[in-house]
Chain A
Amino acid sequence: MMPPVQISVNVNGAARSYDAEPRTLLVQYLREQCGLTGTKVGCDTSSCGACTVLVDGESVKSCTMLAVQADGSDVTTIEGLASGGEWHPVQQAFHEYHGLQCGYCTAGMVLAAVSFLEENPSPSERDVRLGLEGNLCRCTGYHNIVQSVLAAAETMRAAR
């Protein structure tokens, strides 16, 4: 079988490059090679969205993407969302509106919301629910998650 290949990804603004087998999943690359364990593996079958990260600014499920497919891309994980000591507005809103219970889905939920608000800056509540259909919360804490995303949308619109 094929020897490991070099996979270079710009993760949270830092150039990373590791040798990995082509079958390495992006989530493994991030957790095990980059040491960024904020990205969680939930269902491992692209249903739950806990592993959501941004690849070139768009949400993807990193358990269902090969690291080699992200070669040369910009990847943002939950560790890279805050800047200059300031939380991203979506993180701030999840904090203020208690958009989490056990927290396991939160990193994926936040990144899915960041991508969604980039595409839909003025969503209705229904838009938010549909926009996050790929992310499951086992605590069923959807009410506050949706309120958080709506609040973040408002903050982000005001800042534009």
Chain B
Amino acid sequence: MIPAAFDYVRAGSADEAAALLAEHGDEAKLLAGGMSLLPLMKLRLAVPSVLVDVGRLDDLKYVREDGESIAIGALTRHRELETSDLLAKRCGVLRAVAAEVGDNQVRHRGTIGGSVAHGDPASDLPAVLLALDAELVARGRSGERVLSASEFFRGFLETALEPDELLTEIRVPTPGPDGYDYQKFNRRAQDWAIVGSLAVRVDGHTNVALVNMAPTPLRAIAVEQALASGASVVDAAAQAAEGTEAMGDVNASVEYREHLARVLTRRALEAAARP
């Protein structure tokens, strides 16, 4: 399968990429690693007439300390995240979840910015950004703005990015040495999560984010509130399907996904609570 023909432009800078997006509007797509976009283009589910390649913007490839946060360039590959010494020390959860994305070949090419901007609710990394209340930096022709993870994911494959904006940086508050666990349920190791549940302990409370339980990644608010008011892990996890909008598909019915959300959340909470 071969993508439909397109015009190819290699952007030399983030500003140039934003200008190209502004010039071509909805006809243009950004290409980072291509791990999400190229399969869609091969299936002709995406048919951009202009492809703006930002994959060589090396100044957007970094993981560095930024005060109390870790700043990550949008073009940082999953491989760099899963082997980052800085993340091992300051944000182990992001490193661990990055190692769960796809397979080695995918992690060699795929980028955190591409994954997040794609807005697929089955992606692993958005759960981390939601659970840690990360910030996302978008750059457009009119300058930069900072979005919270909670306002970034708008719908299925839909984010708060404007048509002329690209994601340049992700800022993750560091949760410290507290526990975390990510439970990803799939049929084959390399597959997308049928359901995922991430539990992270931050400053004495526990945040939970769910993967593939709605058109967007989402926080399990009912679980978090139950835990905050003293419920046991088992009782709190029983609330995991509250407020979700799971879809049924060839892999799982709605009811099965809701069941998985409860079971995986219990396992994640139990594992995150271990010292």
Contacts and interface: CB of A to CB of B under 8 A. Distances in A.
A22 B8 contact: yes
30 contacts: A1-B6, A22-B8, A23-B2, A23-B4, A23-B5, A25-B2, A28-B2, A44-B42, A45-B39, A46-B38, A46-B105, A49-B103, A55-B108, A61-B105, A64-B35, A64-B39, A64-B42, A65-B38, A65-B109, A66-B38, A69-B55, A115-B104, A115-B108, A119-B104, A130-B189, A133-B103, A133-B189, A134-B103, A134-B190, A135-B103
A23 B103 contact: no
Interface residues of B, number: 28
Given A64-B34, A65-B38, A66-B34, A1 B104 contact: no
A44 B190 contact: no
A23 B3 contact: yes
Interface in B42-74: 42, 51, 53, 55
B5 A21 contact: yes
A64 B35 CA distance: 7
A21 B4 CA distance: 11
Interface string B102-122: 111110110000000000000
Given A1-B5, A2-B5, A59 B42 contact: no
Contacts of B4: 23
A12 interface: no
Nearest to A24: B2
Interface of A: 1-2, 5, 21-25, 28, 44-47, 49, 52, 55, 58-61, 64-66, 68-69, 112, 115-116, 119, 130-131, 133-135
Contacts, number: 86
A52 B105 CA distance: 8
Contacts of A119: 104
B109 A134 contact: no
Contacts of B189: 130, 133
Nearest to A53: B105
A112 B3 contact: no
A44 B3 CA distance: 12
Contact of A69 (B5, B7, B53, B188): B53
Contacts of B6: 1-2, 22-23
Q: Which of A24, A64, A116 has the most CB of B within 10 A?
A: A64
B230 to A, nearest CB: 38
Contacts of B35: 46, 64
Scoring B31, B35, B51, B104 by chain A CB atoms within 10 A of each residue's CB, the highest score goes to B104
Contacts of A115: 104, 108
A64 B188 CA distance: 19
A59 B105 CA distance: 5
A131 B104 contact: yes
A28 B2 CA distance: 9
B1 interface: yes
A23 to B, nearest CB: 5
Nearest to B108: A58
Nearest to A108: B105
Given A22-B51, A45-B39, A47-B190, A2 B106 contact: no
